[in-house]
Chain A
Amino acid sequence: MREVNFEKALKEITKILGKKNVLLSRTELLLNSYDSSPLKARPQAVLNIKQTAQVAPILKIAYKYAQAVTVRMSASNHDGACLPLKGGFVLNMSALDKVLEINTKENFALVESGVINQDLQDILAPLGYFFAPDPASKNFSTLGGNFALNAGGAKSLKYGASSANLLGAEIILCDGTILTLERGNPLLHLLVHSEGTLGIITKLKVKIIPLAPYKKTLTAAFTTLEKAMQAVQKIISLGILPSALEIVDENALSFTPYKNTKIKALLITELEGEKEQVTNEQKQTVNIFKNTCAVEIKINLTAAEIKQAWKTRAKAALALAKQASGFVSYDYAVTRPQLVKAVAFTQEIFKKYNLRGTIVFHAGDGNFHPNIIFDENNLYEANLVKTAVKEIDNFIFSLGGTLSAEHGIAIQKRAAMTIFFSQDTLNLFKKIKTVLDEKNILNPQKILPLCETKAQKIPFGLKSFYNKAKGNKQFDFKIINKLNKIIDFDKENYTLTVQAGALIEDIKKQIEPQNFYLPTSKKKGALLDLFLSGQDGNFADFVTGLTFVCAEGLINVGGKFVKNAAGYDLIHFLAGTLGTFGAPLVFTIRLLPKQIESQINKNKFVQNETLIKLKQVFDKNNIFQISGQQNEEEI
């Protein structure tokens, strides 16, 4: 029996879409109730969207009758992000597959959200351009899905994951309001990377990058995994930034000609840039390979061989598929130096629980995928996988890693959020969701754990800030100036953890003599101001971890890892809010091997209805005003 409200909504929606595009038959619903994960959830109706303009009116109706709406396109995600947990409507937006504009003068492409990643790549390649995020599923996953889950891929080491390549978007909010956001608007990243829980993406403006004039792919074979990891470590610590750095492990190699040989790990390195620079880097890389006892080094690969190498990498995850119907893929990231530890532990767990699976790496950015297969109909085995994954979760947390680097949280990793995020942070996430989607209709019950979390400890040094943020007196940003210490300068990992009040000139004095550079060309002022002003358009892309205080308490997001897709993107949100939503206390920043020119952000912070709603969450006592230093600059 369907609800009365659902029937009413359905009737109105049918008027907009026509009967042909509203699917209600049992078979159609069952065929829209799965994705790449073993999870299933059946919708009550499937709506075929043919034009972007149809989305807003449908959401208006769904909002009116409080019916759940979940977007589903290629359904290639690993964690159930597109499964309608509360039933309701599934929007099939894969027909929104038009590339609206490609502009090679200003380097952007305007696309609808259903465009398939590889289709865009194919259009760009002849023009001498490419689009950086290239998840292994690029041949069939859509850009809307890629961006909603902040997908990364092989090239994200050099060019960043989806979030760094996002320039703007058209997003429909839960009540049907259409928002057109440009980079610099704090809402952009928060809404786009929300896995469809805060808004639905209809159009995207993405960065396109000119193809490098010279490219070289090297492969090196090693007798142990540790040696391959060492090589990765050394390549990065020399300041070389390959466009891809990937390891294929023993298990996956058993599906290739390397089967039953001494070789236990294959490292694929892709160098890009000017010819001179690449040849130079190539020499250094080959030296590293030799020093780390590589068995077989290939330099002059033909196109076919390169493709074969990448195929090996791509096959690694899927080669398992022949053996069983249940397949789960996780996507942890830790710092590069800890990758060896994390992988060794995961392999141990595999042995301990007798699991079948492989581990695939984006070794360059510390991201690794334990892929596990099991028999879907064997409950014992399925539960075993759950127990094993929980142990891995706890270990990764103890290493300071992230739960999800590029797949998102959705359903499968929802419960583990309580391990990785503090109580205050999860409460803030929940309140953001409640405020922006008060009827809980957008992709309901995703990301946020249903169970309670443990109470959190506030670090001693930050307690006074915590109390001030919780109080009702105006927050004075000048007190942050005292927080000016470098907490951790991790040269191996190329990250810097620093307190927010530290001055840029002081930091530069310390790190630049050692050939590490901050990702900004600004020379003076406190880091806090640089971050909050949002003037440097790309600075937030390099902030990987952030601790800040707001009315909800002490919030901690991100960490020392390069890629992160867990939880809401509060780092980009806070950047450019001029301090009106909370005060940053500690940053973790990704360092670079050379100076870069920062892009100046022209968009100014403008209040709008959505931000006013959010302000009540972050700052209910209205104590965060535009920070003093910002004010002076404005004048």
Chain B
Amino acid sequence: MKKKYNFENIFADALKCNHCGLCLQNCPAYRRYKEEISSPRARVQIANLLIKKKITVKQDRQALLKCVQSCQNCYNCAVLCPAGINPRDINQRIKNILGLKEKQDKKPLLKNILLKLKFRKYFAKKDFLFLTSSPDFKQIAKTLNSLKQNNFDVSLYKGICNFPSVFFAGKTIKIPLTYKKYIFDDIENYRLVKNAITDGKLDLKQEQILYITQVINPNTIKLPEESLIIKSNVFLTQKMKEEEEKLFTNFKNKTLNFANERYYYGPNFHEKTVEYFKQIPQKIFITLSERENNFLEIIFKKHKIDKKVISIQNFI
């Protein structure tokens, strides 16, 4: 049975796109994959290509899937688009045409990592600890499940999680305002708060917020002595928190959740957190991003903690 779609009607708004690229700036998918196909601009252009009959749903299905599935549904693009297009909604319409249900995600981000673990033979299975910064905790949960099914003894460390999904348009932000300094390890969150301050929505000063990356070189840069890292969890709405909680119930015993802890990092890493790291039985830390990798290496070196940091890139 073949369905015939009138793309010109379905995607009428997409015709207004002049591919300026403004939507790229805060798209978590584009910032992560850095490929045109995972950008909002591509989603709108795909609609245009369907209208102009340059591609077809049947023949180009695989590429379309790659495109639509990277969307994190955060609506950042819709807020920014000068032409008033909502790429997220267009994405949803393409999804519907492809016959994808909203809940369906076929490819867990880290699925099959296990099978590809190059270091597998060198270490005992229980030595692994996952540090996550994945924006999609559903996928993390799935991955953990599959790891567990393979008899791996896995712990989850979400101390440095980033959840860009807190960028839902129009939602207000709540942060405890009791600290002197707030440090972000995540640029999207940093920008969100920075904008909130300039817009007068947040009673903080610009000097109070800091953004830290792997660039920190203790020799050339001075950092304030007292600083607090903001975990993205702070930004989660109640509903999202509950959802997250539900997903992670299986792992509760083995999860080192720093969500409610106040701790410091950077060259002046807080003693308490250093101790935490020392207590963790696992010897190898797997990081999902270069940033965490470098940051942990600095800390382990500085505090002479005998643990290894390996980037996930080595496994994929």
Interface positions of A (Cβ within 8 A of B):
23, 25-28, 30-32, 34-36, 38, 46, 48, 72, 74-76, 92, 94-95, 97-105, 114, 116, 118-119, 122-123, 125-127, 137, 139-141, 302-304, 307, 315, 318-319, 321-322, 324-327
Contact = CB atoms under 8 A, between A and B. Distances in A.
Given A114-B34, A122-B190, A304 B18 contact: no
16 contacts: A26-B54, A27-B49, A27-B55, A27-B67, A32-B36, A35-B21, A38-B18, A74-B21, A99-B214, A114-B34, A122-B191, A126-B209, A303-B200, A322-B82, A324-B16, A325-B16
Contacts of B190: 122
B178 interface: no
B37 to A, nearest CB: 6
B25 A118 contact: yes
Contacts of B217: 101-103
Contacts of A46: 36
A304 B54 contact: no
A21 B198 CA distance: 40
Point out which of B18, B35, B82 has the most chain A C-beta atoms below 10 A from its C-beta. B18
Interface string B178-214: 0000000001001100000111100000100111111
A304 B45 contact: no
A100 B213 CA distance: 10
B35 A92 contact: yes
B36 A140 contact: no
Contacts of B36: 28, 31-32, 46, 72, 75, 92
Contact of B220 (A103, A318, A324, A326): A103
Contacts of A303: 197-198, 200, 206
Given A26-B55, A28-B37, A30-B55, A321 B46 contact: no
Nearest to B15: A325
Contacts of B131: none
A322 B86 CA distance: 12
B215 A99 contact: yes
A95 B313 CA distance: 14
Nearest to B316: A20
Contacts of A125: 211
Contacts of A94: 34-35
Nearest to B63: A27
Contacts of A325: 15-18
A321 B67 CA distance: 24
A269 to B, nearest CB: 19
Contacts of A35: 19, 21
A304 B198 contact: yes
A30 B49 contact: yes
Given A34-B19, A102-B215, A27 B64 contact: yes
Interface string B15-57: 1111111101100000000111100001001100100001100
A119 B34 contact: no
B42 A126 contact: no
Nearest to B201: A304
B290 interface: yes
Interface string B157-184: 0000000000000000000000000000
B109 interface: no
B62 A322 contact: no
A321 B83 contact: yes
Given A123-B215, A322-B82, 15 more contacts: A25-B60, A26-B63, A31-B67, A35-B19, A74-B21, A75-B36, A92-B36, A97-B34, A98-B214, A102-B221, A104-B220, A119-B187, A126-B212, A322-B84, A324-B16
Contact of A30 (B35, B54, B59, B197): B54
Contacts of A99: 213-215
Contacts of A95: 34
Contact of A307 (B16, B62, B199): B199
Interface residues of B, number: 48
Contacts of A304: 198-200
A76 B215 contact: no
A104 B218 CA distance: 11
A98 B67 CA distance: 25
A114 B191 CA distance: 19
Contacts of B45: 30-31, 34
Interface in B1-25: 15-22, 24-25
A36 B16 CA distance: 13
Given A119-B187, A122-B187, A321-B83, A36 B18 contact: yes
B187 A28 contact: no
Contacts of B200: 302-304
Interface string B88-107: 00000000000000000000
Given A92-B35, A119-B187, A31 B16 contact: no
A26 B211 contact: no
B22 A140 contact: yes
User: Which 9 A-B residue pairs are closest in the complex by CB-CB distance?
Assistant: A27-B63, A318-B82, A76-B21, A321-B82, A139-B25, A140-B25, A321-B83, A95-B34, A327-B18
Contacts of A116: 25
Contact of A36 (B21, B54, B62, B67): B21
A19 to B, nearest CB: 14
Contacts of B214: 98-99
B18 A326 contact: yes
B42 A31 contact: yes
Contacts of A319: 82
B215 A101 contact: yes
B24 A74 contact: yes
Contacts of B199: 304, 307
B67 A322 contact: no
A36 B34 contact: no
Contacts of B59: 26
Point out which of A116, A140, A321 has the most chain B C-beta atoms below 10 A from its C-beta. A140
Contacts of B21: 35-36, 74-76, 137, 140-141
A34 B45 CA distance: 10
A122 B193 CA distance: 12
Contacts of A27: 37, 46, 49, 55, 60, 63-64, 67
A46 B34 CA distance: 13
Interface string B62-92: 1110010000000000000011100000000
B35 to A, nearest CB: 6
A321 B20 contact: yes
A129 to B, nearest CB: 10
A479 B217 CA distance: 54
Nearest to B81: A321
Contact of B24 (A92, A101, A102, A140): A140
Nearest to B20: A36
A326 B19 CA distance: 10
B20 A327 contact: yes
A98 B290 contact: yes
Contacts of A76: 20-21, 24
Contacts of B63: 25-28
B16 A105 contact: no
Contacts of A103: 217, 220
A126 B211 contact: yes
Given A27-B67, A30-B55, A140-B24, A321 B18 contact: yes
B221 A127 contact: yes
Contacts of A127: 221
Given A25-B62, A27-B67, A48-B35, A36 B215 contact: no
Contacts of B46: 27, 31
A307 B60 CA distance: 43
Contact of B60 (A26, A98, A139): A26
A50 to B, nearest CB: 9
Contacts of B220: 102-105
A302 B20 CA distance: 30
A104 B221 contact: yes
Point out which of B25, B46, B191 has the most chain A C-beta atoms below 10 A from its C-beta. B25
A488 to B, nearest CB: 39
Contacts of A315: 82
A312 to B, nearest CB: 13
